[in-house]
Amino acid sequence: MKPNLAEEWLNIQFIAKRSEAVGSFLVGPFIVILLMILSRISLFDKWDWPIALIIVLSIHSLGAISCALILNASARNARRISLERLTRKRLQDPRNDWEDHQFSLVIEDIKNIKQGAFAPLTQQPYLHAFIMPFGGIGTAALIELLMTHFA
């Protein structure tokens, strides 16, 4: 496939915008997990932690995180392929200075995009969503669970 400069750039921009929108949906499942953890705190009621519930919550968390990781890997693979195509086209076809400069700008822009799936790890919504139930009150509930079972 012959790479088109504008098409490659637009494809990567589209992937960044869509993955950013999809990433925001990951917060929902972890809010449910947080509420389930909070509901089990002995402050509200004396509920136990059956193994089946722990397994279901773990599978639910792992499923959501694995979907986010697959999305990120696919987006990064698309960027890598796009950069390879543009670099190959730039090296194969002789160009004037203006066209070469355009290729350089688009390649740099694609390399430096920091949005959606291309954001740094600390800005990934799946990481924030995963930390939410296990930070603060979620951690207090887990510590309480461990203290009651092993004390």
Q: What is the pLDDT of residues 74-99, one digit of tens each?
A: 999 999 999 999 888 888 876 677 77
Structural domain containing residue 62: 5-34+48-150
Whether residue 41 is contained in a domain is answered as no
Which residues fall within 8 angstroms of residue 128, CB to CB, at 6 or more apart?
27
pLDDT band at 69 (very low <50, low <70, confident <90, very high): confident
Say if 126 falls within a structural domain: yes
Whether 14 is in a domain gets the answer yes
Flag whether 29 is in a domain: yes
- Nearest alpha-carbon partner for 33 in 111, 133, 139: 133
pLDDT at 1 over 50: no
Other beta carbons less than 10 A from residue 73's beta carbon: 11
Q: Given a cut of 80, is residue 151 above it in pLDDT?
A: no
Taking a C-beta distance cutoff of 8 angstroms, is the pair 16, 95 a contact?
A: no
Q: Which residue has the higher pLDDT, 74 or 1?
A: 74
**Tokens read off for 67:** 């979907």
- Which is more confident, 131 or 75? 75
42 is a domain residue: no
In this prediction the pTM is 0.72
The tally of domains found in the chain comes to 1
The reply to whether 27 falls in a domain is yes
pLDDT at 137 over 70: no
Would you say residue 39 lies in a domain? Answer: no
